[in-house]
Structure 1
Amino acid sequence: MLLALATCASPALAFEGYYQTKTPYTPQQDPATYAVPPAGFQPIFTQLVARHGSRGLTGMKGDAALYAMWKQAAAQDALTPLGRELGPDILALMQANALLGHGVPGIEQPGYGNLSQTGIEEHRQLAARLLARLPTLFAQVGQDAATAPRQLVTIHSGVDRARDSARFFTQSLLEHAPALAPLLYLPPAPAPYPQGRSPAVRPILQPDGVNRFLLYAHKLVPQTDFVADRANPYSTTYSTTYAATYAASQAYQHYIRTKRLDTLMTPPARQPAAAKHARQVLERLFTPAFLTQFNGGATSYADTGSYTFTSADGKLTRTLKGSGKTAIRSMNAAATTLYALYAIAAGMRHEVKADFSRYMPADDARYYASVADHEDFYKRGPSTTDSAGVTWRFAVALREDFFREVDALAKGDLRHAAKLRFTHAEMIIPLASAMGLQQVLAPLPESTPYSYANNPWRGALVSPLAANLQWDVYRNATGQLIVRLLYNEKETPFQAACDGARIAPGSVFYDYAGLKACYGHVAVQ
């Protein structure tokens, strides 16, 4: 059960704190404790989907707004001794983000949103552990590369941090097993609708290796994802092959804009605890008189201004200007923004020496993590019992892609030795729900608000940075296929309804035919 991840011994203690989905990755089981496959079964294939690794902030927004607030407090002599240290630390974090990736081979455009060194290592080590877990599979694949080549299929969302995670992962594979190099394969992206047929649609052809329908399905849009029907390429309708996923994506994008979702997500901000924790956090940094200026909503601080940062080697200088669109208008917003910096800094320890836990006491960090979990539960997680799976149905195609790969093996098609997919939390979280993993798919009645007391769903467990799901597939002499699921590298049961497909009571290995029947396997894209 997923809850076991929380009590896993030493690995889970590598990063102490409450970082929610910004929690840096640690494997959740010692590989020495993995179950031994039954006699006569040999590994034939493996596949994974992994979230990108630890990263920086996605843009100069809340950090610049909070720095503007700090500068105003400094001008008014309204900072505590600890508060005086906050501004330089925010500025150091902003500089690290503005220059993130500079000098790192493989990072094409330094700046906000890139992988941190921690994120790079998360994927390099994940690849090394994959090889170590299945040495006979990859040794055989490498030996047969010239005579019976198989493919290591690699796809990603197209977003830089997912693309770079794929690159660092596969680089690590090849460093440890150079014979695999000729087997790497980036399949063509789904072909877009022919340009010129509709003036309203100007599709963008994606590079090889990109598959947004599987790995960015939460944000499918006509400009990028208007895909031709192969049987009728000049039709003015979407491809029937991808129609279900596109429709589910549109339904989800509508859902996240609804007042209904806003009603589900906002209760924590209205509770007394919100004001209590905001005051606890901020009064350690700012004088009470300064904070009272928020009363009545007359004061706000936005991400305005211009900042110039130069790398230590002097080879890169970047000037960034705030958009003014992100504003802090309340104590709660200020404390929540500070929590976001605390959380992101956990995965940037190589780039930023500042310790943001000094500004976010553990009790307050836990509270803000719970608020973020509340929001993600309804926006990306299982949501309510009457939501009809709108938060995860667009990930069914990704789930079915796992089955499709094993189906090919069952038919004797061994072209693929591994399939490696790289994506985002917005896909890992719904995939866990789509798979019905125990203690993950636990929606609540709309009348029962999510809380830590009534639901085990936690973002830090469901989708930490570099979160991953892996299927190892084994075959015996009679052709029987069995599958083991690793969730964040912990042997994990499939949905409870599939217990009958286990090869023995309590086994972590499942008969594939039974597993497929249990999920009612239907190809969806």
Structure 2
Amino acid sequence: MPQPLPLSSMLLALAACASPALAVDGYYQSKTPYAPQQDPATYAAPPAGFQPIFTQLVARHGARGLTGMKGDAALYAMWRQAAAQDALTPLGRALGPDILALMKANALLGHGVAGIERPGYGNLSQTGIDEHRQLAARLLARLPALFAQVGQDAATAPRQLVTIHSGVERARDSARFFTQSLLEHAPALAPLLILPPAPAPYPQGRTPAPPPDGVNRFLLYAHKLAPQTDWVADRADPHYATYAASQAYQRYERTKQLHALMDAPAREPEAAAHARHVLERLFTPAFLGQFEDGRASYADTGSYTFTSADGKLTRTMTGSGKTVIRSRNAAATKLYELYAIAAGMRHEVAADFSRYMPAEDARYYAAVADHEDFYQKGPATTESSGVTWRFALALREDFFNEVDALARGDLRHAAKLRFTHAEMIIPLASALGLQQALPPGTSYNYTDSPWRGQSVSPLAANLQWDVYRNGQGELIVRLLYNERETPFQPACDGARIAPGSVFYDYAQLKSCYGHVAAQ
């Protein structure tokens, strides 16, 4: 029988991992490195008689590199052409080596890191690994009484810590580093970790290999369900609604209506002004003028070979040519993307990209990215009828289903840990009513709207429910969003156990959301 976890070790972990609220030193939008948004010492105590019985979370993967050699290579091609034409400013001359250093860091990302199977673009950075290790330690420290007793018998078997992820490497690795940290702080939990079987594949026209245990695309990659791997035709199938909502969303992403909304900022005069301000610090006006009559374009072509410092890994990367810079605005936007990604790669890249992106310009490009994400991933407008988030309803219901099991007396699960992507975290916030759609005739406005990628879904963003029970079997729930005590949707205020409380009566909460318990 696993031994109870010593309370002293939990308190030490809390002291080691407590962090101040996020102090943004730049405008990185959804690439903002993570920090908890509330001092754990200020969390409200549960009411007398209630003890923690369960916790669950869904977390975005941690800080990562670029997902592929695309905009970085295109921008480097532009820089090389400018160098060949002697069209660089003194600051501009430093840009090319820094882009190349970033490309090398991405090509080799994860090399020599235990737990990273395939080094390269898209992997977690050291910052991303640390984000999940520290998140796990704080979870343990927040609920010492729960984790001290999860090894005890619940009915006839020890309780379980269930872990699932999207199947994408950076989400899988986030789960791995998170659970490794759990076990380092609490080795007695090792026998309790389980990876449930993946839902059976639903292929159209072929039979793919079944996903590994622990993968659940229907919950954690629902924005990209594909006929080749996830096809569901039977309306009676429990995954049908999610699959159908995913297909509707992917059709929406291709609509002219969406792209008209997303492209609106580029049509405003300030787009040209910011692009000019960013680029004329790096390139001569004559060189940039070549964009005006279509004489210039730069693509992610060519091959680059990089070797690790220890000489044990050499990788050659070849561009696809599909990412093309044809305008000043496109060039400045690609540079902003490098500035944003570099914020989470400070262990791997010494280059300071903030010197190429003045703060006022970084704020503008973050605002543009927020504008795009609000309509593409966020609550969008009431006319969109929830198409941007309905595929996340199954994930919302999974949270309720876990607490329903506790209400039935099924205590097998002590925790459920889910690891996913911004494309699921943002829609889930909408599905929970934490973010609101715009009414007809209203447009997203960065100045007036509180919606920000850096707070809605920074790297390692997470939503957590802590569940408590008293001697009468009553259940109450607290929501933490990026580790800040957060109200559920305003319509559920009546479910609070007292006015202003962060704890909600579970029976009233699920009634408010219209949840029907699974049988």
- For 1:303-382, list aligned pairs within 5 A: 303-382=300-379
Tell me, yes or no, if the aligned pair for 2:66 and 2:121 is still in contact at 8 Å. yes
Counterparts of 1:147 and 1:43 in 2: how far apart (Å)? 20
Which of 400, 405, 410 is the aligned partner of 1:408?
A: 405
The AA in structure 2 aligned to 1:211 is N
| Deviation per residue, 1:432-483 (Å, 9 max, x gap) | 000001xx22x22453221113321111110000000000000000000000
Tell me, yes or no, if the aligned pair for 1:154 and 1:419 is still in contact at 8 Å. yes
| 1:341 Cα deviation from its structure 2 partner | 0.1
Which piece of structure 1 moves more, 143-152 or 472-481?
143-152
Q: Match of 1:139?
A: 148
Counterparts of 1:265 and 1:303 in 2: how far apart (Å)? 24
Counterparts of 1:479 and 1:151 in 2: how far apart (Å)? 20
Counterparts of 1:239 and 1:326 in 2: how far apart (Å)? 42
| 1:203 Cα deviation from its structure 2 partner | 3.6
SS at match of 1:421: strand
Q: Structure 1 residues 405 and 383, CA, compared in 2 at 3 Å: closer, same or farther?
A: same
| Deviation per residue, 1:345-380 (Å, 9 max, x gap) | 000000000000000000000000000000000000
Counterparts of 1:396 and 1:98 in 2: how far apart (Å)? 36
Is 1:153 matched up with 2:153? no
Is 1:388 matched up with 2:385? yes
Which of 499, 509, 513 is the aligned partner of 1:505?
A: 499
Is 1:496 matched up with 2:496? no
| Deviation per residue, 1:25-58 (Å, 9 max, x gap) | 0000000000001000000000000000000000
Q: Match of 1:11?
A: 21
Which of 80, 86, 89 is the aligned partner of 2:89?
A: 80
Q: Match of 2:64?
A: 55
Counterparts of 2:360 and 2:193 in 1: how far apart (Å)? 47
Tell me, yes or no, if the aligned pair for 2:464 and 2:479 is still in contact at 8 Å. yes
Counterparts of 1:493 and 1:447 in 2: how far apart (Å)? 28
| 1:141 Cα deviation from its structure 2 partner | 1.0
CA RMSD of aligned residues (A): 1.6
The AA in structure 1 aligned to 2:317 is L
SS at match of 1:414: coil
Which of 412, 416, 420 is the aligned partner of 1:419?
A: 416
Counterparts of 1:485 and 1:11 in 2: how far apart (Å)? 17
The AA in structure 2 aligned to 1:141 is V
Q: Match of 2:75?
A: 66
- For 1:266-277, list aligned pairs within 5 A: 266-277=263-274
| Deviation per residue, 1:128-179 (Å, 9 max, x gap) | 0000000010011135599741110000000000000000000000000000
Is 1:214 matched up with 2:219? yes
- For 1:441-520, list aligned pairs within 5 A: 441=436, 443-520=437-514
TM (norm. structure 1) is 0.93
Tell me, yes or no, if the aligned pair for 1:145 and 1:179 is still in contact at 8 Å. no
Is 1:226 matched up with 2:231? yes
Tell me, yes or no, if the aligned pair for 1:145 and 1:180 is still in contact at 8 Å. no
Q: Match of 2:104?
A: 95
Counterparts of 2:78 and 2:269 in 1: how far apart (Å)? 24
Q: Which runs of 4+ in 1 moved over 3 A?
A: 142-148, 201-204, 236-239, 522-525
Tell me, yes or no, if the aligned pair for 1:145 and 1:183 is still in contact at 8 Å. no
The AA in structure 2 aligned to 1:202 is T
Q: Match of 2:14?
A: none
Tell me, yes or no, if the aligned pair for 1:303 and 1:322 is still in contact at 8 Å. yes
Q: Match of 2:195?
A: 186
The AA in structure 2 aligned to 1:417 is A
Counterparts of 1:39 and 1:45 in 2: how far apart (Å)? 17
Q: Match of 2:286?
A: 289
Tell me, yes or no, if the aligned pair for 1:400 and 1:524 is still in contact at 8 Å. no
Tell me, yes or no, if the aligned pair for 1:244 and 1:524 is still in contact at 8 Å. no
Counterparts of 1:373 and 1:291 in 2: how far apart (Å)? 27
| Deviation per residue, 1:189-216 (Å, 9 max, x gap) | 11124x8xx6x24344111000000000
| Deviation per residue, 1:261-297 (Å, 9 max, x gap) | 0111111001000000000000000000100000022
Q: Match of 1:231?
A: none
SS at match of 1:154: strand
SS at match of 2:151: helix
SS at match of 1:12: coil
The AA in structure 2 aligned to 1:92 is A
| Deviation per residue, 1:242-266 (Å, 9 max, x gap) | 1110110010000000001011111
| 1:340 Cα deviation from its structure 2 partner | 0.1
Counterparts of 2:415 and 2:160 in 1: how far apart (Å)? 7
The AA in structure 2 aligned to 1:11 is A
Q: Match of 2:114?
A: 105
Tell me, yes or no, if the aligned pair for 1:306 and 1:320 is still in contact at 8 Å. yes
Tell me, yes or no, if the aligned pair for 2:400 and 2:510 is still in contact at 8 Å. yes
Counterparts of 2:486 and 2:182 in 1: how far apart (Å)? 24
The AA in structure 2 aligned to 1:79 is L
The AA in structure 2 aligned to 1:311 is S
| 1:10 Cα deviation from its structure 2 partner | 4.1
Q: Match of 1:5?
A: none
| 1:108 Cα deviation from its structure 2 partner | 0.4
Tell me, yes or no, if the aligned pair for 1:118 and 1:349 is still in contact at 8 Å. yes
SS at match of 1:469: strand
Structure 2's unaligned 5+ residue stretches are 1-18
Tell me, yes or no, if the aligned pair for 2:154 and 2:412 is still in contact at 8 Å. no
The AA in structure 1 aligned to 2:293 is G
Tell me, yes or no, if the aligned pair for 1:203 and 1:225 is still in contact at 8 Å. no
TM (norm. structure 2) is 0.94
The AA in structure 2 aligned to 1:322 is G
Tell me, yes or no, if the aligned pair for 2:20 and 2:35 is still in contact at 8 Å. no
| Deviation per residue, 1:392-419 (Å, 9 max, x gap) | 0000000000000000000000000000
Counterparts of 1:238 and 1:91 in 2: how far apart (Å)? 51
Q: Structure 1 residues 322 and 524, CA, compared in 2 at 3 Å: closer, same or farther?
A: farther
Structure 1's unaligned 5+ residue stretches are 1-8, 228-235
Tell me, yes or no, if the aligned pair for 1:100 and 1:111 is still in contact at 8 Å. yes
Equivalent pairs: percent with the same residue? 82
Q: Structure 1 residues 365 and 358, CA, compared in 2 at 3 Å: closer, same or farther?
A: same
SS at match of 2:162: strand
